[in-house]
Amino acid sequence: MKSLEDLFEHQLKDLYSAESQLVVALPKMVENATDKRLKQAFENHLEETKEQKNRLEKICNTLQITPSGESCKAMKGLIKEAKSFIEEAEDEEIMDAGLIAEAQRVEHYEISGYGTAVRYAKELGHRDIAKKLQTTLDEEYDADNKLDELAEGRLNRKAIDQA
């Protein structure tokens, strides 16, 4: 990588890989969530993630970049940790509380990645692309906030009651 443009392309490909992996992993979280609202939140985010992946494809097309070709090792690790947790959880309330924690780790990674991509797009003069990336960044913040609300609203208390 010799320029900010190269780094920006790398970031977009990394985000595309992350979203692609998440499209595959989210159904497992839906399947294992026991709380109806949490299950619905994961289902909604799966659809949103598919749209985000499509948005990245369009951005890459505009920039004449092939979005594939990178493998997001961070997302791979986050998904591996989530799978490991799912295998270890022995109680429904603990499962839901833990799934929220795992999902929020993913959201925080995506927030970081999209925040960086927005900044690079602006610095490179890609204003329209920056707006599209900002839309995704806003969606990631919203998903994280919804998970916070579920956790603080009752799921963490239910898990405490299991102790």
What digits encode the pLDDT tens for the residues 96-155? Answer: 999 999 999 999 999 999 999 999 999 999 999 999 999 999 999 999 999 998 988 765
Q: What pTM did the predictor assign?
A: 0.91
Residue spans per domain, the chain:
4-161
pLDDT value for 160: 58
Closest CA to 152 of 104, 85, 108: 104
% of the chain residues with pLDDT over 70: 94
Quick one: average pLDDT of 30-55? 96
> What pLDDT score does 159 carry?
55
Q: How many angstroms from the chain centroid is the CA of residue 116?
A: 15
Query: Average pLDDT for residues 74-99, to the nearest whole number?
Result: 94
What is 4-161's CATH topology?
Ferritin (1.20.1260)
Give, in order, the Cα–Cα distances in Å from 100 to each of 21, 96, 106, 107, 160: 18, 6, 10, 10, 15
